[in-house]
Amino acid sequence: MTNCQKKIDKINLSGVKEVNFNLEAVVYFDTAAAIFINSLREDFFQKNIKTNILTTNQDIVETLDLVLKTKQRTEPFAKEVEETYLEYIGKTFYNYYSGFLAFILFLGKVFSAILSYFVSIKNIRYKEIFFEMNESAIKALGIIALTSFLIGLVIAYQSAYQLKIYGANIFIVDMLGISIFRELAPLMTAIVIAGRSGSAFTAQIGAMKITEELDAMKTMGFEPYLFLVLPRIIALMITMPLLIFVADIMGILGGIIVSYIDLGISASLFIERLNEVVDAKHFFIGLIKGPFFAFLIASIGVYRGLMVKNDTQSIGFNTTKSVVESIFAVIVCDALFSIIFTNFGL
């Protein structure tokens, strides 16, 4: 077609009033040829040259007409308009607002499913709950213990250097006890669980959605919220206080080791001082935070899994969002707890 166009462009058409396209000898005629001829006819029409199609083959005539009608119906692409900053802010706000409403709808379905547990004890999926307790929490004991132990070591080591300057070695017990029991152990445990178990919830449910296992469950009469969502949330809420308790022990153990090596405080003296100056309320406040943190982590993880679309890239995107949003939600929740407990004098 390109060579033909070049040859036609070289022809001097000045003074030509009419051009005939003789297609009598054409054996094969497709839409590409029809587009080429119609383009030539349009060029000639703009030069006030009349064109005629000479053929007795009705298929060629119909193909030319079909291509011409299709072109007339096709609208040209609209020019891409650059988005203004105000439009960008509006779209961003609307996306966050829509996501918030979708999450509220998800929570509504979760609480509705919880009510079914109160209707009949037979609805409680004990096997699934115990399985998720093992997978999402019990298997995480090792990493929780190691992380908390190292946090205790680091905090005690950094504090010891400053306390030695003022001869206030024994006060390391006060600082470690309150900070670990009340804030560090619950927060670090929640962050580790968000990165380990929360992301696993998103990936597992997202993969089930891509492979249409969720649709298959609904077809067979199984409610995904009862079999997949609630067991994960309940399992994490039950086991989170246990994980925080382990984190407390390992964090204090790290502090005892550094206190003995760097400050000469024996383990018995450390524990005795801990019992005297650190109230039990700090320990229980840390445990109370556990179920709330667990609910946020599990809910966001499962919700992001349900938001996965039918492509593998969506799993990675939502898994990342799950971890980031879970950690952010946990930090906000911890800040609210701090404000509430402080106002109540706890």
Quick one: which H or E segment has residue 21? strand 18-22
7 exposure class (CB count in 10 Å sphere: 0-12, 13-18, 19+): exposed
49 or 294: which leads in pLDDT? 294
The closest alpha carbon to 51, from 11, 22, 12, belongs to 22
Whether pLDDT at 71 is above 70: no
Higher pLDDT, 119 or 286: 286
Number of domains in the chain: 2
Within-domain flag for 125: no
Phi and psi, residue 53, nearest 5°: -105, 120
> Does residue 241 form part of some domain?
yes
Report if residue 104 sits inside a domain: no
pLDDT, tens digit, 9 for 90 and up, residues 180-226: 888 888 999 999 999 888 888 888 888 888 888 877 877 887 777 77
Q: Are residues 137 and 21 in the same domain?
A: no
Q: How far is CA 248 from the centre of its chain?
A: 30
* CA-based R_g, the chain, Å: 36
Look up the pTM and report it.
0.70
Residues 58 and 198 in one domain: no
- Taking alpha carbons only, the member of 53, 48, 51 closest to residue 63 is 53
Residue 245, pLDDT score: 92
Looking at the structure, tell me whether residues 247 and 172 fall in a common domain: yes
Distance of CA 265 to the CA centre of its chain: 47
Q: Name the pLDDT band for 8 (thresholds 50, 70, 90).
A: low
Judged by average pLDDT, the poorest of 31-40, 192-201, 207-216, 287-296 is 31-40
Asked if residue 325 is part of any domain, the answer here is yes
Those residues with Cβ within 8 angstroms of residue 229's Cβ, 6 or more apart along the chain or in another chain: 110, 113, 302
The domain in which residue 25 lies consists of 2-6+16-73
Q: Mean pLDDT across the stretch 303-331?
A: 86
Considering the domain architecture, whether residues 163 and 311 belong to the same structural domain is answered as: yes
* pLDDT value, residue 10: 61
**DSSP codes, 243-260:** HHHHHHHHHHHHHHHHII
Q: pLDDT band at residue 12, thresholds of 50, 70 and 90? A: low
> pLDDT above 70 covers what percent of the chain?
92
Residue 143 within a domain: yes
Distance CA 173, CA 189 (A): 21
**Is 345 exposed, middle or buried, given 0-12, 13-18 or 19+ CB atoms closer than 10 A?**
exposed
251 within domain boundaries? yes
Residues 221 and 297 in one domain: yes
* Predicted local distance difference test score (pLDDT) of residue 146: 92
Residue 88 belongs to some domain of the structure:
no
**pLDDT at residue 35 above 80?**
no
